[in-house]
Structure 1
Amino acid sequence: MGSFSDTVVAFEVVLADGRLVRATKDNEFSDLFYAIPWSQGTLGLLVAAEIKLIPIKEYMRLTYMPARGNLRELAQAYIDSFAPRDGDQSKVPDFVESMIYTPTEAVHMTGRYASKEEAKKKGNVINSVGWWFKPWFYQHAQTALKRGEFVEYIPTRQYYHRHTRCLYWEGKLILPFADQWWFRWTMGWLMPPKVSFLKATQGEAIRNYYHEMHVIQDMLVPLYKVADALEFQDREMEIYPIWLCPHRLFKLPVKTTVYPEPGFEEAHRQGDTEFAQMYTDVGIYYTPAPVFRGEAFDGAEAVRRMEKWLIENHGFQPQYAVSELNERDFWRMFDGSLYNSCREKYRAVGTFMSVYYKSKKGRKTEKEVREEEQKQLDNAYAELDQPVME
């Protein structure tokens, strides 16, 4: 329930001046250690990372729990599925995700690691979801709405890749018939299509369509605001299914680019601890319902409203997503104090593109981004060339 960077012990980075340094949380490069996550390679070249390994077992014991109600009730059921009200951390499962299929239906899933011996006990169901002919995972999970709660064991490696074949549910748009049994059995091994190939073969019209009539966004929001986020999405985009996954933001000794709400530990909200505030990744990936209905929909404007909502609710937009933020609002969403300090200290300005322009996509082409970045660099050099007044 966190990001990859939470497992990192040390980063090895080549700085702008060519030095190779090792940054840890308690050495002379500790500021760099805390600034690298979310910097998108704009502080130096990351060449190695030392990470903590987490012991796992051969299987995932997965429990599927159907839920019905309005969006606020579905959100609370999601929270209750993994965040015990008494705060007992021993009750927290190893894995959690939810899929909101409609404004009134969801399936919440919790998993814990299980040994091969446990999985193969008589009466237990093993489901190798990774086989090419198997139903797509999100459709398989949806059967809980008819079957009721059930438990099965999934090989751990296959569980990690449960959404790979169907690209969550985006595969349904790319190949509408690819989820049919006859395709899965005969050509399911072809899935998923290579995303880089799809992008390389897209024409301008297709790119514009995806920008204006399609949404691929993640909203990282405080856990207690998940219901508000779901209602906002339903009102502004009306996209289903929605993916939910918890994400801890740890209280660190310095204020990083992405950080928990100040004083969160005093509120004692469900899911929070003294050392971390619980957030949730709200995954919104699909074509909005208004587009299917033939109604007017402005994807760029919808994303701008989403970004405004995130800023107002101490949420964050992952930087791999298409962004409509201007630079001022980008730094309202993210905290740039440590990042910009490291940019100057380690002389990244003039060598590496700033994180805003590297993550800025939206309607700008790469050429436009580079031209804008060059203006920034020219201004920076002009300031450096100014004579020092004594």
Structure 2
Amino acid sequence: MCQPEDDITKEHPSPPLPQNWWWNPTSPPRSTKHHARAPFHLMDFLMQYRWLIIIPVVLPLSFLWARLHLARAWIKKRLRGEATHEKHCARIERVQQAVKGHAKGTDGLICTARPSFWSVSTRDSAYKKGARYQVDLSDLADVVDVDLERMVVKMEPYVTMGYLTATLLDMGVCVPIVPEYDDLTVGGLVCGYGIEGSSHKYGFFYDEVTSMEVVIASGEVITATRDNEYSDLFHAIPWSYGAIGMLVGVEMRLIKVKPFMKVTYYPVAGSIEEMTKAWNHFLVPTDKPWAEYVEGLIYSSTRGVIMTADYAEADEVKVSGKVNNMGFWYKPWFHKYVKEEILDKTDDGSPVVEYVPTRAYYHRHTRSLYWEADLLVPMGNHPLFRLALGWLMPPRVSFLKLTMFGKMWKYYNSRFAAQDILVPLHKTAACMELMHDEYDIYPLWLCPHRVFKTRMGTMLDCEKDFDKTPLGPGDTKDAQMFTDLGIWYTPGHILRGEKWDAAEASHKLEQWLIKNHGYQTLYAITELNEADFWRMFDKTLYEKCRKKYDAVGSFMDVYYKIGKKNLSASALSAKS
């Protein structure tokens, strides 16, 4: 006989939530800079009504592509059988043969054959235009092996986060860091930038990698680990964006996970300084263990929500909590749900607890592309739209790029900001104030991050004297705590019909980062010139490995891959 629910609750009462001391709703908002009125431009009209193409064309294409991709992957898997080390090695050998066939100086520089519109980056990858030596890595898209004894997974660079979590979670394991967007690939996250709400414990995505397989300019495949003879290559690959060699395999650590996440929402109100104090408190509490995940959504200069999440067993969920399966197509978009159901409905900032299926939590920002979908499909979060067409979301970034033609792409990037920046934790408030003044974009995403000290000349490292006593919140002798701040939207100045200079705002932000030991992520458009780029990043190990592994003249230099003023591939041989 089933026990009544009331009796279960009495027998297993939920622990009381702590009082929220971070609720000061009387704090005045930070003043906003106002600019001169902007003249009307036809492109504004086209951008405003872009949804007339996105809904009937892009959304169905995105849905069909996703289904065809799944069907194609299933068919290919049936034809070739389960992924094996032998098949993985055969694919690597094909890459090796392609690279060995490259003639330095006459064939142009090597890059992947992946079309630029398939990338999730806001850059147009102009460096690939006219490239004469492209190497196809598209076959390298399998999870090769899951070793539950060693607790590692071996995978290929085109494995996506959506595919990886679907493969691993049924085994009760996952990688420690799962960047939210389904289409992000292992290769991009290792060679570029990959963080999540668990990064305050585990670092970058690549910090949990145990070994890498890299094809260098000679065609040789090298297995690099953190402590073997190729440890310099291991530490140089992150942030190099394929400028040293071609990543063809990754082994990464696994952790045990549970089927649910217990999510606690803490509404916060006050000045930017007060909200960052709350951020520090929930990020690195001194009175209890750190949460597995921490995330902040700041909705204005005075209000936001900080969330913590920990893994939970199904038995705990049955006993003590409500389940929000936010992954269903008819559910509100996550950032809208947090604002409208948590922040807007509180009078005193009381915390709210709920349980979320683990995979739904991992990919909570996918359906709305964080909050970019607010611009792309303005009515997309309406209950009727979600019910009728929500199953078509999200639009694929690659198809969205195809709706931008000619000067439209350039104009779009002058009216839209996509920036992820990394700053020391103690600089968070100052950076938030700068971003408010220059961009006035909300929500503002806060994600914690631990940067591990290397002192090897890696492109990123901790501040020089961070490990001097007293240590900052969350700092240790081996690692420093940082905050990632993310914006992806149209600046408030443009929404108010005012002039706004994207290049000027980006330049001010970049110069501030250089002076304050901050870093700009490289999937976004940058205004950095080459000298300033290498003031922000340390090129010591990067240049050493470029020379040692003969990448110079074979692979494109990282700056000319990511710089806004990048050149065509045919012109890059002199800049390699």
Tell me if TM exceeds 0.5: yes
Q: CA deviation at 1:274?
A: 1.8
**Which amino acid letter does the alignment assign opposite residue 111 of structure 1?**
A
| Distance across 2 between alignment mates of 1:205 and 1:64 | 43
Q: CA deviation at 1:82?
A: 1.7
| Distance across 2 between alignment mates of 1:371 and 1:271 | 47
| Alpha carbons 1:357, 1:369 under 8 Å: kept | no
**The one of 515, 524, 540 aligned to 1:321:** 524
Q: How does 1:277-292 map to 2 (within 5 A)?
A: 277-292=480-495
Q: CA deviation at 1:205?
A: 3.4
Q: CA deviation at 1:51?
A: 0.6
1:200 corresponds to = 402
Q: How does 1:220-259 map to 2 (within 5 A)?
A: 220-252=422-454, 254-259=456-461
Q: TM-score normalised to the size of structure 1?
A: 0.92
1:374 corresponds to = 573
Q: How does 1:352-367 map to 2 (within 5 A)?
A: 352-360=555-563, 362=564, 364=565
Say whether 1:55 aligns with 2:267: no
Say whether 1:46 aligns with 2:247: yes
2:551 corresponds to = 348
**Which amino acid letter does the alignment assign opposite residue 396 of structure 2?**
K
Q: How does 1:303-342 map to 2 (within 5 A)?
A: 303-342=506-545
1:300 corresponds to = 503
2:478 corresponds to = 275
Q: CA deviation at 1:209?
A: 2.5
| Alpha carbons 2:260, 2:311 under 8 Å: kept | yes
1:136 corresponds to = 333
**The one of 318, 324, 329 aligned to 1:127:** 324
Q: CA deviation at 1:31?
A: 0.4
Runs of 4+ aligned residues of structure 1 deviating over 4 Å after TM superposition are: none
| Distance across 1 between alignment mates of 2:436 and 2:408 | 25
**The one of 279, 284, 305 aligned to 1:107:** 305
Deviations 1:103-133 (A, max 9, x none): 1100000001111111121x41110000000
Deviations 1:82-112 (A, max 9, x none): 212x4x7x62110010000011100000001
The residue matched to 2:538 in structure 1 has which SS?
coil
| Alpha carbons 1:120, 1:126 under 8 Å: kept | no
Give the % identical residues: 48
Structure 1 residues 196 and 256 mapped into 2: Cα distance closer, same or farther (>3 Å)? Answer: same
| Alpha carbons 2:446, 2:485 under 8 Å: kept | yes
Q: CA deviation at 1:210?
A: 2.3
The residue matched to 1:135 in structure 2 has which SS?
coil
1:211 corresponds to = 413
| Alpha carbons 2:425, 2:483 under 8 Å: kept | yes
**Which amino acid letter does the alignment assign opposite residue 91 of structure 1?**
P
| Alpha carbons 1:290, 1:296 under 8 Å: kept | yes
Deviations 1:180-230 (A, max 9, x none): 000000000011001101112211333123221110001100011100010
Q: How does 1:177-192 map to 2 (within 5 A)?
A: 177-192=379-394
| Alpha carbons 1:211, 1:300 under 8 Å: kept | no
Q: What's the C-alpha RMSD, in Å, of the aligned pairs?
A: 1.3
**The one of 128, 145, 158 aligned to 2:360:** 158
Where structure 1 has 5 or more consecutive residues not aligned to the other structure, the ranges are: 378-390
Q: CA deviation at 1:254?
A: 1.7
| Alpha carbons 1:242, 1:283 under 8 Å: kept | yes
**The one of 247, 250, 269 aligned to 1:68:** 269
2:226 corresponds to = 25
The residue matched to 1:102 in structure 2 has which SS?
coil
| Alpha carbons 2:557, 2:575 under 8 Å: kept | no
Where structure 2 has 5 or more consecutive residues not aligned to the other structure, the ranges are: 1-198
| Distance across 1 between alignment mates of 2:571 and 2:493 | 34
Q: TM-score normalised to the size of structure 2?
A: 0.63
Q: CA deviation at 1:372?
A: 5.0
The residue matched to 2:508 in structure 1 has which SS?
helix
**Which amino acid letter does the alignment assign opposite residue 211 of structure 1?**
N
